[in-house]
Amino acid sequence: METKPFIKGLHHVTATVNEAQEDYDFYTKLLALRLVKKTVNFDNNAVYHMYYGDKIGTPGTIFTTFPYQNQGIRKGVEGTGMIISTTFSIPSTALGFWKSRLENAGITVVSSVRFGQQVLWFRDPAELQIELIADDNDIRKPFITDEVNEEVAIRGIHHVTLWVAPNDWEPVRHFLAAEMNMAEVAQEGDRIRLEVKGGSSRNALELLRAAADTPRGKNGIGTVHHVAWKIDNEEAQQALRHRLVDELGMEVTEIKDRKYFRSIYFRLPSHQLFEVATSGPGFDVDESVEELGTHLMLPNDKEHNRAIIEAGLPEIQL
């Protein structure tokens, strides 16, 4: 079966950060994203899993974090084999607004042009590399707040950038084209942009070729843990898993129930961790759209431990 068309675009990005309150304040108050789900890391219930996005957490708008302060997790080290940055889409007319807003908050902003598009680069409180890219073709309806209106608000994730060692460059390019429904659409120096076929500029990926002596990165606080790609349903996901495991001999997890979607995980030839997540059932399976993000929601099999879990988590003022 031809499985690569099953990949439909970006689903979410997940990063490891430091303190929960500063993370919430940065992404909801400064960047004006909506907290659509406050839950726990399903593999470590002592840590929050925060989901930020548009009003309903549409796949492709979702940026998620694990705040690992005081959990004995090292600070990450940037290097090859990592997802090095996450880029959000904004209108070109919003560049001045965001540059001023970020600088007024004490954040260093670097302006550049890439593939003919203006880019603002900065770091979040955990030292993650974040970018805002001007894309007037992105017509997604944004979440808005009292301070950030529809004319300037973030539309969603535009792309992530993988930092790739020279020896991994050709293998990962081949894999993305052959198995992940991606086509190379532009190149500037050591950087290539790919887009999911049938998608749009908001379903993109960039590869940045590292110098030969660049060390391998180390995951930890201040690094992206994985990027997830969207697939329609569990049947397509199972077919893709069969392709990767039984025909290509790759190591892929079993399908995992993440309550709001189903997931599989595997590593690229260039070592970054990819997830393939179903579009549904969505974030309103346990909260109404109006109440999204206002309660601590737990996996169904952890509800009996709610009191213990809540006692072990830091308080967040929403």
Tens of pLDDT, residues 243-284: 999 999 999 999 999 999 999 999 999 999 999 999 999 999
Q: What percent of the chain has pLDDT over 90?
A: 97
| Band (201; pLDDT cuts 50, 70, 90) | low
Tokens found for residue 224 = 């992206």
pLDDT at residue 198 in the model: 84
Are 182 and 176 contacting, i.e. CB atoms less than 8 angstroms apart?
yes
Give Cα 169 distance to the centre of its chain. Answer: 22
pLDDT tens digits for range 108-145:
999 999 999 999 999 999 999 999 999 999 999 999 99
Helices (H), 138-233: 169-179
Can you give the pLDDT at residue 290?
98
Residue 28 scores a pLDDT above 70? yes
272 CB-near residues (< 8 Å, 6+ apart): 81, 82, 83, 162, 226, 227
Instruction: Indicate whether 199 pLDDT > 70.
Output: no
Q: Give the C-alpha separation, 205 to 193, whole Å.
A: 6
Residue 171 has pLDDT above 90, yes or no: yes
pTM above 0.75, yes or no: yes
Mean pLDDT of 20-32: 98
Q: Are 57 and 282 in contact (CB under 8 A)?
A: yes
Mean pLDDT, rounded, for 33-44: 96
Residue-wise pLDDT for 202-242, tens only, equals 789 999 999 999 999 999 999 999 999 999 999 999 999 99
Q: How many residues does the chain have?
A: 318
Whole-number average pLDDT of the chain:
97
**pLDDT tier for residue 158 given thresholds of 50, 70 and 90:** very high
Q: In the chain, how many H helices and how many E strands?
A: 5, 16
Domains and CATH numbers, the chain: 4-312 (3.10.180.10)
> What values do phi and psi take at 127, rounded to 5?
80, 15
Angstrom distance (rounded) from CA 23 to CA 221 = 12
Whether the bond between 281 and the residue before it is cis, its omega within 30 degrees of 0, is yes
The pLDDT of 45-50, averaged and rounded, is 96
Alpha-carbon distance 62 to 97, whole Å?
A: 22
Which contacts of 240-247 are long-range, i.e. CB under 8 A and separated by 24 or more positions?
Answer: 240/3, 240/6, 240/7, 240/264, 240/276, 242/3, 243/1, 243/3, 243/179, 244/179
pLDDT for residue 52: 98
